[in-house]
Structure formats: structure tokens, C-alpha cells
Amino acid sequence: MSDASQYDTILKGGTVIDPAAERNGLFDVAVKDGRIAAIEPDLPASAAKDVIDVTGKIVLPGMIDTHAHVYEHVTGKFGLNPDLVGVQSAVTTLVDQGGPSCMTIGGFRNHTAKLAKTRLYCFISCYLVGGLEGHLYPDLYGPNGVNAEHTIRVAKENLDMVRGIKAHAEIGGQSRWGLEVIKVGKQIAREVGVPLYIHLGQLWSTAEEGPVPDADELIRELVPIMDEGDVLAHPFTRHPGGFVSEEGEVHPIVFEAVKRGVRVDVGHGSHFSFAVAKKVIDSGVKPFTLGADLHGYNVRVPQPGMGQEEREENPFFGIAPFNLTVAMTELMMLGMTLEEVVATVTKNPAIMIGKEDEHGTLAVGREADVSVIEILDGRFKLFDNSGVEAISDKLVRPVMCLKGGERFDAKSPLIPDAVAA
């Protein structure tokens, strides 16, 4: 092929689903110099140096995982390699949720983000220690572990990377400090001008002294603190303090929150119950974004000879292998349409991080971030975090992606084998 070819690459024969552009149909996508050069129904193969046949596949804007934990090494066993979660899983952009803090953002920028092929953003932790060891030590996360002034200053200095603030609202912390830390987190987010992202679902044990807090009261007190654009994570958690009350019903205040613009991120990870998810989705509350929430405590595959003691030191053990497209499969199984699910990993995440002018859609002139997936038919076993098994007649699998025009095949060990039940 001549060096004078019109395009570097054409993705040919695929079905393009791009909710932001309201495009769903057979289109070829051409790339030149790392940018989208054309999107047409039938581009001539002779116009490109390289033609990638994606017939029968689905071509998406580069997928964005809104809940990642990829501050590798610094957060101990918790942080995964970003490219295993990212481009090697056909995900072009990751948002690390609470790994870096005002004290460690420099390391995240220079030793994680700059070395990764995957694009990284973060919601900076409101806690000084960030996500060290996956928040295993609750005493580090009280009011004395927060410095609003320092965090505001550092967040403002790093707004190219810092797209929000991360905090936790769960009954272990509530039993110790009430919602004081959440209120400081909200102050930080308002002054920086970014969303506040709140973890729901019990994470720590309750304090040994004093009354056990009312898990249902937690969310009733929390939601009024939040503003339009803020995010509630883990709506489908089976742990106390989530969207569903002890009586088994979705809290009325959740509907009020969604109505006034508070967004919902799945934050799958160790906080996903099929029964709770069905209850919430059937009530009319659908997630705005789909964060996979993979971390080193929930995707570590058991090794031969691993003892019970090692298993017990990992409180979230047991859902590996797992990736973003498995979470997409689960949402489809629960009744969301393919286009709705695609929006949760493309258009909507770009809005959530305030980058819809750069990401989340395929448009001529934009950076060529493109994800390719396939949907397999059959009978596939899925498992939630309580060990409940479900059978899906579809399985979404990653195939490859282009990140700035560079090709990465989906070869991450975090991708499960496509074995029919």
C-alpha cells in the first residue's frame, strides 16, 4: 500500500453504537494520525494502509471505566496494573477512585499515569492517606485524616487529571464520626468545582463502644448533602447502608436524589447483588455509569497451596476473573438495553468527568479512542458477590481497542474465558 494512502487504518464492517451521536448502524471508521478521519457506511479498503475487519463486531467510542483502582504498588495489594484493566481489556480510559491523595498525586501522575498506555484520570481522595492498602484501616479515615485546605489546593493544581473527590459513607465510619468527613468532602468538591463521589455499603466494622448506627438513617442523612452531578456508588450492594432498606424496598429519598440530578455509578467490584440490582432497576432507577471497581482484593485468582489464612486476610476475595464487559453483560441480563449499557461506558462517563468535549463519542477530528466488542450467544454462568449464580444467554467480550490510533488487542488475564454453561 502506498505511503500516500488517505487513512492509516479503517475499522471495516462493524456495527457502530454511539449514543452521544445517536448513531447505531453499519459504519466504517477511518483513522489518520491518531484521530478519527471519517465515519461512513462503506469506505474503500484501498484508501487505508491497514484494514481491520470487524464484521459481526460492535464498534464503540473508547470505553471509560469510572471506578478503577490502579495506583499500582503505592496502594499495596489493592492497586492493579492500569493496562490490564485498561487497554488490554479494550478500555481506553480509567478513572481511579480515591487512590491518590493530596500527598501522593505526584506519584500517580509521574509513576502511574505517564507510564501507562491507558489514559488515566482520578477522583482524588478527600483523605490524606488516599487508598493505601484498600482502606483496610478505618482509624486513618476520620476527621483528623482530612485536610481540606491542602486537598483543595492540590486538586486545583491538577485539574487536568483530578475530575472529582472521593469519600465513603458507611456505617463503620458513621459509628465513629457521623457524617463529618462527608461534609468536609462536600466542601472540598464545591470549592474545587468538581463532583463528590460517595461509596455506599458497609466497609468497616462498627465502633466497639456506643450504639450501632441505623444503616437506613445513613442514606437519609447523606443524600441532602449532595448536589446535582454528585455520584452515589454501589447502588446494588448487599451490605447495609445502600439503596435498599432493611424492609427490602428502595429508599424514597433515592428517587428524590436522582430527580434532582445526583448520578448513580454501579461500582461493581465487591458490591453487586443480583437481587438488589433487580429491585433497584425494576423500581426505575438505572445507573448513569458503570464502574467495574476491580482491585487487587477482588480479582486475585486463587493459587494452588493458598491457605485459609491468606484467604481470610482478603475481605473481598472471590469474584475473579472479571472485567468491565462482564458487568455490561449483567446489566443486559437485568433488563437494560444494549444501547443503554453502552451509554454507561461511553457518553455518560465523559459527562461525569466533565470531558464530553474530548471523550465519549466518535467524531471526526477527535482522538481515535475506539473500543471493539462482540456479543456471544449461548448459556453463560455469572456470579454475584454473595455467590448467587445466574445464567445469561449473552456474553459481552472485549476484542480490541485503538487508543489514540494505536492498536491493543484484548489479552488481559482479567478477561474470563468464554465457556458456555
* Binding site as annotated, residues for Zn(2+): 67, 69, 166, 199, 234, 293
Classified as helix, coil or strand, 408 is strand
Q: Which amino acid belongs to residue 206?
A: T
d(CA 28, CA 54): 9
CA-derived radius of gyration, the chain: 21
C-alpha cell at 48: 487505508
In DSSP terms, 24 is beta-bridged to 17
Residue 220: how many other CB atoms lie within 10 Å: 14
H or E stretch at 257: helix 252-259
CA angle 255, 213, 296 (to 5 degrees): 75
- The sign of the dihedral angle between the CA atoms of 312, 297, 112, 66 is negative
CA angle 85, 258, 200 (to 5 degrees): 50
**Residue 343 class from Cβ within 10 Å (0-12 exposed, 13-18 middle, 19+ buried)?**
buried
Locate all alpha helices (DSSP H) within 324-392, ordered by sequence.
Answer: 324-333, 338-345, 347-352
Classified as helix, coil or strand, 317 is coil
Binding-site members are 67, 69, 166, 199, 234, 293
